[in-house]
Amino acid sequence: MLGLWCAGIVILLYFLYQRLSSPISKLPGPWYTKFTSLVIKYHEFSASRRVFIHQLHKQYGTIVRIAPNEVSFASLDAIREIYASGGSGYDKTELYDLFRQFGIKTMFSTLDKQTHSERKRQLADRYAMSNILREHHVSAIRDSAKAFASKCAAVAKSVDVYVYLHCYALDCVTHFMFSPSGLKSLTDENDFELMEEMTYHNSLQKNLLPYYLPHLAPYFPSWLLPRRAPKSNAYVHRVTAQTSPDEYSLLARLLRKDSSISRSQAAAECKDHMAAGIDTTGDGLCFLMWELSQPHNFRFQDRLYEDLRSAPEGTHIDRLPYLDAVIKEALRCAPPIPMSFPRYVPSGGRTIEGTFIPEGTIVSCQPYTVHRLDTKVFPDPDTFNPDRWMEEDGINERNRLFFAFSTGGRGCTGRNLATVEMKILLQEVYSRFQTTVAPDMTSSMEIDDQIISSRPKGQKCKLVFTPRKILDVGADWGLVDPQTGIFSADTRYNFRTDDGENIFLQTSGPKSPSGQLHLRLVFETGSRKYYWLNNVVAIGILTNVAETANTSLLRIDAWNMATDWNSTSFVNPSTTTTSG
């Protein structure tokens, strides 16, 4: 018995020596993380790892020990070293084995960077922006965006955009991969059921158990295993069996004659991309629209509307700066994958942020913290403020710390597709509608962590869509170009009031016998300050215009017939003057 006690003491002393002599034990962090990983596993299992790590970084700084063999970083130097050194950074950990599809490793779940690079080369041209912006893909995305907007506008009161945003993301990504066999879950009931199967489930605990207990996993009862998705699996197998996919689709690239990828591997790859494309884009858009719909953020929604409506017709979606700013800020505040991207330190160890880390140590950065910790780069980091991305001062630092899609050779392959999908949908919605939080919205929009992704905790987001465009008020205007004397019908004129607000007029109409141009008007206001225009049913122009030909000042009398109220205001036409 004494021998057993002695052996136990020796083992304990050896364990303590190993833990305390490791360079990791000298790093900042709670004392208990020198000895056990149970605490971080508890937070993983209870969906609080992200918040736990973030609080540790706020307490200890940019380097934090979170387990005896795991360190979290939150700095630009660490991001570059872990994820971009040597082109693709360090190899992934076994956590990514959880993302195999049909038991097959995909590009995302491949652990070593060499194998990943070989697979990525086979797919890279499909995810290049030049391919995504082909008219074939863009028109399909626009059709889905219009279907989404129509679906939401058709509901008189509140609409759950969480549902329809996931439909939108599913329809877009399946068209991109499988055209002409993409889904239409926004309009087809059977396809909608497939979206529900892939979206409404908890992926956390039942996926983590096999990861924690791999040797016991084969003996788990069915109720402990991750939920299966028979409809989506059958769909993927069916469409990957087709022989003539569209030439620009992902499937066509995977099944090329010179490809080394089998049909079963192609099916696994496509299922992986489909699952990733639904949740990241759908949830990202959901958090974004929720923020824009908050009363204290209406000014951002109004500015986005003005930016979209004042852009010349045909403006490329990459040339809408405020749209970019809104998307970046939403992804900064609520990145679709906010948690750690774990990697193994390579053989021989590495120096990260001036600190030597032994080989085999798990290291990571999490976007949620990278986007918040440095308050010099991101002041008021928990506040949604797209305007920060419009300021020149500090923009380079902000861009370098933008980590929503990871970075390096193993960064998000689908970032271009996701960005285009987000831009087109937001352009469609916010150039036409104002969104507000519905009165019956009671579900939590708190970030709810899954394995590495996140979603709204209540899986509901009820908004109200109010059309911005006002019906024809039937008034006549006489407008003439001061330079040419020519009027182009159906041209949008931008009027700016004397206090800098924009009012948009959609005009059309013939020339009168006297030579005046009589135009029918449709009002669209970009500011709640001038929302009274929504009730204007009669407009008249007085002829008090200055004598000079290039004058920009005219007087408008506006009558609200519902309240018998009238107002006179002055506006400045951008390119036209008035002929009384």
Residues tagged in the binding site annotation for heme = 412
Q: How far is CA 180 from CA 143, 244, 325, 419, in A?
A: 14, 9, 33, 22
Task: Give phi and psi for 26, each to the nearest 5.
Answer: -85, -10
Decide if 320 contacts 307 (C-beta within 8 A): yes
- Say how far apart CA 326 and CA 297 lie, in whole Å: 11
Q: Is 73 exposed, middle or buried (0-12, 13-18, 19+ CB in 10 A)?
A: buried
456: preceding bond cis by omega (within 30 degrees): no
Whether residue 570 contacts residue 557, with contact meaning beta carbons closer than 8 Å, is answered with: no
Max distance between CA atoms of the chain, in angstroms, equals: 117
Other C-beta atoms within 10 Å of 430: how many?
A: 23
Structure tokens, 131: 């391919």
> What are residue 570's DSSP bridge partners?
555
Q: How many CB atoms lie within 10 A of CB 518?
A: 15
Give the CA distances from residue 350 to residues 37, 226, 359, 370, 401, in Å, rounded to whole numbers and listed in that order: 22, 36, 7, 21, 22
Burial label for 367, CB within 10 Å (0-12, 13-18, 19+), is: buried
- What is the rounded CA–CA span in Å between residue 478 and residue 539? 12
Distance CA 201, CA 181 (A): 25
Interacting residues of 536 by C-beta distance below 8 A, sequence separation 6+: 470, 473, 523, 558, 559, 560
CA dist 75 and 364 (Å) reads: 11
Q: Count the Cβ atoms, other than its own, within 10 Å of residue 138.
A: 14
Q: Are 428 and 146 in contact (CB under 8 A)?
A: yes
Exposed e or buried b per residue across 285-317, where buried means at least 16 C-beta atoms within 10 angstroms of its C-beta: bbbbbbbbbeeebbebbbbbbbbbbebeeeeeb
Are 91 and 361 in contact by the 8 Å Cβ rule? The answer is no
Which three-class secondary structure state does DSSP give residue 188? coil
Please give the annotated binding residues, written as ranges.
412
Structure tokens at 303: 């500015």
CA separation for the pair 217, 207 (Å, rounded): 10
Query: Please, which residues bridge with residue 159 across strands?
Result: 463
Report CA 462 to chain centroid distance, whole Å. 18
Closest CA to 345 of 327, 331, 357: 357
CA distance 68 to 19: 7
